[in-house]
Chain A
Amino acid sequence: MRKSINVEQTVTSRRNVLRGTAFAGAAALTGGAAHASLLSRPMPKTPRMGHSRPVITVESAPDTMAEAAPADLSGLERVRQELVDPPFAPEHEQVASGPPKIVEIEMVTHERLMTVDEDSGASIWALTYNGSVPGPLIIVHQDDYVELTLRNPVESVMEHNIDFHASTGALGGGGLTHIYPGEETVLRWKATKPGCFTYHCAPGGAMIPYHVCHGMNGAIMVLPRDGLKDAEGNPLRYDSIAYFGEQDYYLPRDDNGDFKSYDTAGDDYADSLEAMATLVPTHQVFNGAVGALTGANALKAQVGETVLMVHNSCNVDSRPHLIGGHGNYVWETSFTDPPLTGVETWFVRGGCAAAAMYTFEQPGVYAYVNHNLIIAALKGATAHFVVEGPWDNALMEQVVAPRPFEG
């Protein structure tokens, strides 16, 4: 008996060596446990749905971390940033006063039942940062440190973490922030790159899109220390920020085609994976729900007001368009490159946040949409600005009101 097992192990020893390497990082993180040789048999085919191997592993901390010299942050001032619910932005300076700071923020991973569409009754056990979809907008300046305290309430069902696209190392901090219900962690990272960036939960494997598609994503804006500028280096300032999170949901339906409801977070896991694998969202909305930013919830502005529209889309590509207006200055990726100007429709790459600046010139309703108009009108990705102020006939005039004509 022993003999035949040994023969098998010898035959596949090369594979074991490779596996051992892959697991070395994990072993370092979990206390240096040696992993046994593992000869496993891949499933010939998966029973329920097509399923490729996840390539993203959960553990990611390099074992040199323990030997690293401590960072000297002794001279840095600490400030606390109070995060607020979308579509609003936290209090901040557009031009940084003084040298880089340590900006302390706090986020709590709330799992909560949210209505996605009041008309159909569609709902989801949203996985959130601070209870909102998207998570709160964070604003710092280049070379500031972000010091996040992340808490997972004990009543949570799931493990969470956070991957900041703006940060460097350890899977964006994802490898260092896995917390179970009842745990907290503190991560500090330097904002070296100016721009708007996505952050999101990434617990590993299929749980990554599952958490992201349940709302667990948001944006951080890292401003240049001397503020935003045009291509010539002239300062660009805004009066307000409108923060949009475009969220694709894949809500499971029952046999009658009605959206299913679930008792707790995580209960929809199996159904959800199947729905996500279609790549066809049942809803694609701004700020968590259909109509979250229309009607009584529309954004308000004045003629002459300059608004910076920060648009996060963690998962799907989007092409925002302001119906009746423009993107005067658009930063699709970083603030390092000069902004695009006079843009009709711009692009938000999935897994990215972008900023567009516009000064309203006419009163009335402006629709901010994903200009895939099927997504805007049928899936929900529409927001409204209601702008007050004087009308300018030099820009547009109704010469003849609609009337019948002869002939």
Chain B
Amino acid sequence: MLRVITAALAIGVAMAGPAFAEMHEVQMLNRGEAGPMVFEPDFLQIEPGDTVKFIATDPAHNAESIPEMAPEGAETFKGKINEEVEVTFDVEGLYGIKCLPHYAMGMVMTVAVGEVTEVPESYLEGRIPPRARERFDAQRSNL
């Protein structure tokens, strides 16, 4: 199960829930250390139940899942442009995330949830723009 929740709720969760559920922040930027159009950081290793907050630091970006690049049983999500979203990842596995308008420019990130040691076979077989593929390949080396 994957859920997107509000920040107000997340605070409630943090206080009420077990101490190990963490919040990770990712900025959506026009330019970062890796070049133009980036998620920063562009790789996260998190635990099941952790939440990732996508922050619209620069305008005109969104964060959404790539259905072909998610573990079986995981739900997809699609943030709106300029919107801050929080996504809770419950299903273990590897997730590809993209910014829709800047997918061709390589604005992608990888979230590894739980024990992920290898990339599923079908993971990079879909229709992926060359610049996004390059960055996915680089992010994979963090595993």
Contacts and interface: CB of A to CB of B under 8 A. Distances in A.
A associates with B: yes
Interface of A: 1, 4-5, 8-9, 23, 26, 30-31, 33-43, 46-49, 51, 53-54, 58, 154, 156-159, 180-182, 203-207, 266-267, 269-270, 273
A61 to B, nearest CB: 15
A210 to B, nearest CB: 9
B4 A269 contact: no
Contact of A38 (B58, B77, B131): B77
Nearest to A33: B67
12 contacts: A1-B21, A5-B9, A31-B67, A36-B2, A38-B79, A41-B6, A51-B59, A180-B127, A181-B129, A206-B59, A206-B101, A207-B60
A53 B57 CA distance: 15
Given A31-B67, A46-B56, A47-B57, 6 more contacts: A35-B75, A40-B85, A40-B86, A41-B83, A269-B30, A273-B60
Nearest to B49: A1
A248 to B, nearest CB: 19
Contacts of A5: 3, 5, 9, 13
A156 B131 CA distance: 10
Contacts of B18: 1
Nearest to A36: B75
B4 A39 contact: yes
B80 A180 contact: no
B76 A33 contact: yes
B131 A58 contact: no
Interface string B26-66: 00001100001100000000000000000011111000000
A393 B74 CA distance: 83
A36 B76 contact: yes
Contacts of A266: 36-37, 105
A156 B56 CA distance: 26
B105 A158 contact: yes
Contact of A43 (B16, B68, B82, B100): B82
B60 A267 contact: no
A35 B56 contact: no
B35 to A, nearest CB: 9
Given A159-B104, A266-B37, A54 B130 contact: no
A157 B104 contact: yes
A43 B18 CA distance: 28
Contact of B59 (A37, A49, A203): A49
Contacts of A205: 60, 81, 100-101
Interface in B74-102: 75-86, 100-101
